[in-house]
Structure 1
Amino acid sequence: MAVYVQGSVPKDSNGFGVDFAFAKYQGPDIPFHFNPRFSWWNKVVLNSFESGRWRKEEKRKMPFRKGEHFKVIFMVTEAGYQILVNRKKFYVFRHRIPPQSVRFIKVFGNLELQSLNVTAEPMIGNLIMTSPEIYHLALPYDQTVLGGLHPGMTIYMNGTVPEESDSFSVDFACCQHRRADIPLHFNPRLFQETLVLNTYQSHRWGKEEKLQNPFQKGEHFEIIFIVNEAEYQILVNGNPFCNYSHRFPPQGVQLIRVDGDVDLQSLNVTGGPKMGNTIMTSPAIYHPPVPYTGDIPGGLGAERTITVRGSIPKNAKRFEINFMAGQEIPLHINLRMKPWRAVVRNSFLNGIWGNEERNLTFNPFQPGLYFKLSIHCDNHEFKFYANDQPFFNYTHRYVPIKHIRTLEIDGDVTLSYIKY
């Protein structure tokens, strides 16, 4: 579902708010409080009110201007409220209270409200889906690691460094407590142009290891931490960056925490034996070359999902994804950026191409942007999700899907990882 709010901010406004509330009167819980404040901070404050108390505030840079019109869209997703301001991605406020409990939308403060609409389904189309979804996970963000880290496991994270960033950190910690041991502390310090690595053990920091900072303000990044027997192997933006020898067994790591001045978009932990040159793990393959040809482990089957992450170069024209069964192509996807944007789907069976499918609700693929494409297979069709939004379905034209054993990707694309 989605909530659309339109209005204007008076020139003398000191702020306004939108509350997603349990009830109309004061006192009950407010799962989501959205509050642009022009006075004092000139920031947007996001929070929840639960059991008579406000929880921890999340603050973001102010996107509104006094004296100007605005449109805000709140899209309810599984993860949280995805917020767009004037057609631009703003933030995702993760659910602290289930959204099913919201009964009222309350607007208050110094604004001129023109409309408020609640729709049963988000209006995607060209209005708000002209670029990929960018999820900004609320910080500090904690990712639980069940059973600890072991050699062959990999941690993948990506995001953007804000222009005003001073530093951020990634801590591999032994538990959620703030004084817990930290086997690996990864701390880019942009104000010093250095990156510090260290270990916190028995309430004391060890000796710092300092390196040249590889991150740039205003730019996207990807980090891969590979757990080896003797060390963490760290890659930044696809390039080997450094190794950090274990001072503390990685099996003790139960939590990965990201905090500081960073827009975190994703963090994934994958496990499996080492393959090849150690930057590949099963079931994920990191930074594979293009063209890529890979065997689908065990062949394709019902209820199987394959995820592809990557970016499209600024001068890109097209790239394609093929699901192969020998010489047959049960599914061919041709993603075209130039001379016009289109996503063409087809099958090449018995030596001939079938009828093309082109209709789309939206098309997030365009040069210069990152993407996440998830392909889910069931007994009847392929279901595609672009940046976690339903993209299109493709009915099977080749019935024995278990014979589909190869994935091919070629063209103008840079691959971050493929997860089988």
Structure 2
Amino acid sequence: MALTPISTVNNPPIPYTGSIPGGLTPGKQIFIQGVLPMTQDNFVVNLQCSPQGYPQVEVALHFNPRFNQGLVVRNSHQKGSWKKEETYGNFPFHPGQPFELIIAVETSQYKIAVNGQHFTEFQHRIPVHLVNTINIAGGVSIFCVRFDAPGPVMPACQPQNFGYGQPQMMPSGGYQCPPQPVIGFQQNYTEVVNPSVPYVGDIPGGLAAGKSITIQGSLPLSQEKFAINLQCGRQPYPQLDVALHFNPRFNEGCVVRNSHQGGSWKNEERYGAFPFHPGQNFEVKIVVELNQYQIFVNGQLFVGFQHRIPFHRVNTLSISGGLNVLRVRISNPDMATGSSVDESLASIYQPSSATPSYGTGVAYPPSNTTVLQNQPIIYNPSVPFLSGIPGGAVPGKMIYIMGNLASMPSRFNVNLQEGTLENCDVAFHMDVRFRFGRDVNVVVRNHKSRGTWGSEERSIPFFPFSVQSSFDLIILVEPACFKVAINNAHFLEFKHRLHPPARYSTLKIDGDLTLTQVRFQ
């Protein structure tokens, strides 16, 4: 049974003190995703029995990486004093690098994983049911804190020392999870279980080429109709724009596809067999391609529907009519399958090598886990954005940046640089200028060495950005140059001017944009 998310906190200020929904119980897991500064600093994660300060606060788990000592201290604070420290184990953190921390609560201990690998255990010194607060402080930036629960707790007579990420077995009668989204580090999808119908929900980050939406449900025995809409907002008709209206009609034996624009419905499309059956389960999967939606029913391609409204405007999913919805899953581009996208975001450039080092954010890994193949996905980070590049800008490294542009942007820029200081060396500077000084729709590339900018490169085959729209950007590091792709098409190259490129291990993004996702591969 999958873990059930019960709360997510995005981009909390540091220091952060917040309640743990429902307190701690065996089987609950806490995911913390963040990035460390380039300067060697310490940070702390405390699981506490209250939001009080020292010396009154009781701390069940004090997790304290200390860079100056190269060790991670684990301890508890009880009755006004610290108890015996535990410091054995390697030091799994690196300055300037993103990280993921998972704390899994077991009956007798906490188990702690860092970047997808089991790190250590810490035996309970304070009963877990007394813990209700998390505190994070020190030299760290946090993108996401998520609390997951395994569902109903087994009776005390049942063994609860389950393997990491393998919560207790589902009771024979089943367990109905509340309809809550799962938006996790490297999980790369949003899932809603058993939503009520009619259902209206956001599409995190909007639509992009390669993204897919899967709806699993069941139909009543009585012949009914239902509708799935991909919408541009939640306005009521007739103001609402609908990019795709998918409407199976049992009384007519057809599936109507249409769009709603400018206050009216447009031309219907009805051709194709009728793939639904009263009283049976079904699955509809909608895959976003560059020029159309491809719609699969029960694993078979059913029909295509050409875009009438730009898909980047779509941000809402609605479902209505005579059906029960069991699950809605919105998968990001590299999770989408069954698509024939000409050049999906994940396949424009094939990296010559990869340096995997991070975990999944889905569940606690086994103690003997090997390093997983994917690296951190950072969702909805704030701008300016500053992060280490795992392994540095070595040949084969790919950086994925997804974002949205404002209605009247002036400029935004992306830097691959040596550190975090204002005057540090920059191996690759890409400055997208919509209206900045005398520049209109210009993309400037450059480098900076010892505080001095080099010669600019300005020639471009086309200007690939549109105001008030989303974009996908890939930077591929090759032995001789950086390659850049925008919205699934190769855009430009920038030959290396500073060597070696691996020295430039920091990514900085700033300007008139919002970020929906940053990923390193």
TM-score (norm 1): 0.47
TM-score (norm 2): 0.39
Instruction: Say which one has the larger Rg.
Output: 2
